[in-house]
Amino acid sequence: MSLAGVIVGFVIGLTGMGGGALMTPVLVIFFNISPAAAVSSDVVTSLILKPFGGSVHVRNRTVNWRLVKWLMVTSIPCAFVGAYLLDRVIGEDGADTIKRLLGGALIVAAGGIVVKLVLQARRKTAPIVEMMDPKLVKPVPTMVIGAVGGLIVGMTSVGSGSLIIVALTLLYPRLSSREMVGTDLVQAIPLVGAAALGHAIFGNPKIDLIASVLIGAIPAVVIGAQLSSRASDRYIRPILCATLTISALKLFEPSKNAFNGLILGLAIAFVIGFAIYAFIDRAGRTMLATADDA
C-alpha cells in the first residue's frame, strides 16, 4: 500500500489527477477493500495529500484564486451530499453499484484526457506560460463544473483532479498546464474536505489503510508538485489515460478472456493513438518554429 501511495502521490503532484482515479481502484482490485470503505478512506487520504501539493503551487504563484472561489461555491455542498448518498442510500450492500459508478467515472475521466490531448496537439501555438487574467473566469459554468464534480467526488472519490481539471481545460483554453494543476490542487482541498467530513460522519474510513498509503504518498506528492510547477506534464497524461481505462474495465468485472482481449485492444489503440498525437504535436511545433524564424 505504501508503494502504491508513492506512485499515486507522484502522479497527483505532477498532474493534479490520480487520487480517487488511481488509488480507489488499486484498493478495490489489488487489496480487496470493499468499494464503500475504499472510497471513504481514499477521500480522507486525499484531504491530507492535497495541501502538500497545493502549497508548492501557492508558493510559486501558479493558482488562479478567482477560479478557486467560484468552484468552491457549489463543489463543497455537493461533495457532502455525494458522501451521504453513497453511505446512507447506496451503502455496503450496493458494492456492485459503487463499482459501476466508479468505473463509469474513470471512463469519463480517461475520455476527457484524450479530448484534452487532441486539443493541445491541434494547437499551432506555443505552450501557454503566462497566468490567465482572472477577469476571464466565467462564474456560472464554473459553478456547474464544481457542482457536478463535487457530487461525483463524494460518491466515488474520483473527480477532484481527473474530471474537474479536464472540464477546466475545455472551458478555459488559456489556462497553462502549471496554473491548471495548481488551481485544481488548491480548489480540491475544501472540496475533498467536505467529502471527507461526510464520509467520516456517514461512512467507514479505515485509519490503518490511510496511514499505510500516506507513508509513501506524502513525499511523492511534494516531488511531483515541484516538477509540475516548473515543467510540462504532456507525457504523463497518456500513461494516466491508459491506467484509468484499464482500472475502469477491471471494475466492471468482465470475464478473464474478455478482460485480456480488452487490454490487448487498448494497448494497440494506445500505441497508435500516442504515435498520432506525437506526430501532430511535432508537426505543430515545427510549424511554430518555422513561423518564428520567418
For 75-116, the pLDDT digits (tens) are 999 999 988 887 777 765 665 676 677 677 767 767 766 776
- Single out the residue of 154, 46, 31 nearest to residue 90, CA to CA: 154
- Single out the residue of 187, 148, 173, 165 nearest to residue 46, CA to CA: 187
Residue type, 205: P
Lowest mean pLDDT across 48-57, 161-170, 260-269, 284-293: 284-293
pLDDT value at 71 more than 90: yes
pLDDT of residue 139: 93
pLDDT tens profile 153-191:
888 777 666 678 778 877 887 777 778 878 888 888 898
Estimate the share of the chain in helix, then strand, then coil, as percent rounded to the nearest 5: 80, 0, 20
**Boundaries of domain holding 105:** 2-293
Is 58 in a helix, a strand, or coil? Answer: helix
In the chain, the N- to C-terminal Cα span, in Å, equals 54
Residue type, 46: S
Give how many domains the chain has, as a whole number: 1
Choice between 195 and 282, residue whose per-residue pLDDT is larger: 195
Exposed / middle / buried, residue 63 (Cβ in 10 Å: 0-12, 13-18, 19+)? buried
pLDDT of residue 142: 94
Residue type, 148: V
pLDDT tens profile 213-229:
899 988 988 888 787 66
36 contacts 97 by C-beta, under 8 angstroms: no
37/12 Cα distance (integer angstroms): 21
Instruction: Return the residue matching grid coordinates 467536505.
Output: 194
Mean pLDDT for the chain? Answer: 76
Cell (9 digits) for 137: 473566469
- Single out the residue of 81, 92, 99, 80 nearest to residue 24, CA to CA: 99
Instruction: Return the residue matching grid coordinates 484526457.
Output: 113
CA angle 257, 261, 262 (to 5 degrees): 120
pLDDT bracket for residue 147 (50, 70, 90): very high
pLDDT value at 240 more than 80: no
pLDDT of residue 68: 93
